[in-house]
A and B are shown apart, each in its own frame.
Chain A
Amino acid sequence: MIVIIEMIMAEAGTGDNLGNLVGGLFEEHRSAVFAYVYRLVGNREWAEELTQEAFLRVYDARARLPEVRNRRAWIYRIATNTAFNALKRWRRFLWLPWHEADVAPLGRSDSAEQVEGQTLVEQALLALAPKYRAPLLLYSHYGFSVGEVAEALGIGEGAVKMRLSRAREMFRGAYQRESCR
């Protein structure tokens, strides 16, 4: 009897610990995951809701945390799936307005050139399909390795290299078009 009670107590303790762990992960990655989801879906309110949804999924799957080798990649995988599923569900990525005011919350010290440069980069990024935008963001903006990008997107490393190569060429073309406007 005592053993059973001890097991239950230990289980409860583990659950709490994992919950606390997810809480810590949320505080650590909250802003970055929001920005990532926002750049995938292009809408601030939606991104906030999807970020919550993603972390709720992380919380619900917290029992798997001890087995997860790369927690950051795992969180981004859940966030990516949440965002992609939402995009698929609503097919909004084709006509969603891009809120330029939200895109570049730069300080007053930033020059007009910097703001313009950032806007151009954001616009060129937006021109890419989410399938290509996600790996480019993860690799170049968040500093993921190819292996981490593969883990975050749930695809093989070869596919990541292929997508990155295409994404870079698409980005180059889109940036040149945006610059000419």
Chain B
Amino acid sequence: MKRHGEVVGLLAVYRNLDPASRALVDQHVLECPACAARQTAYAQMDQALAGLVDPRPGAALPRSLDGILHGRSSRWVPARPVPQQVRVAPKVLVAAAVLALIVVSFWIVLRVLPPTGPVLAETPSVTPTSTSLAAALTPPSAVAPDAASSAARHLASIPTPIATRGLAPLVVVAAMP
């Protein structure tokens, strides 16, 4: 069985075998029908492949080397236009990523966070006091229009803390390793 596996490998290169290996193969083939069939198939394969008619080059392939060299010096272009590979240093990539992160963080903070969130907490005039439970459960505009309008004026007077909010992602980025 060991010899069978060995012979199968040798059959693929039968033409190039040394006399000893060839004798081994010939002896085995006499006893093994599978290897005999394989040897015949390989011989036919070699015959078919050797008999293939080669396609002839067209006029695009010059007949002399001078033609190719002349073509290279005057109008030669590579076999296919290769896209230029842009080589960027890793440090530049990291810096670009950090910058992009900062810009995106700014954008998110400016767009997503409600601008009145922290300000409302600072408006004690809107918060219901302990005057009555009914007044506390009623919407402020319905209960105390004066209080609502004063709260609005108060809100307008307080500057929007954009700068403070914008610093938050910077702190996050700076804390990153």
A interface residues, Cβ below 8 angstroms from B: 19, 22-23, 26-27, 30-32, 34-35, 38, 44-53, 55-56, 59, 86, 89-90, 102-106, 117-118, 121-122, 125, 136-137, 139-141, 143, 145-146, 160-162, 164-165, 168, 171-172, 175
Q: List residues of chain B with CB within 8 A of the CB of A59.
A: 65, 68-69
Q: A26-B64, A34-B57, A55-B65 are in contact. Are A165 and B80 (CB under 8 A)?
A: no
Nearest Cβ in chain A — how far from B112, in angstroms? 43
CA distance A136 to B52 in the complex (A): 13
CA distance A35 to B52 in the complex (A): 11
Q: List residues of chain B with CB within 8 A of the CB of A48.
A: 57-58, 60-61
Q: Which listed residue, A27, A103, A136, A175, touches B55 by the CB 8 Å rule?
A: A103
Q: Do the beta carbons of A35 and B54 come within 8 Å of each other?
A: yes
Q: Which listed residue, B46, B56, B79, touches A46 by the CB 8 Å rule?
A: B79
Q: Do the beta carbons of A121 and B48 come within 8 Å of each other?
A: yes
CA distance A56 to B50 in the complex (A): 28
CA distance A139 to B12 in the complex (A): 10
Q: List residues of chain B with CB within 8 A of the CB of A49.
A: 60, 79-80
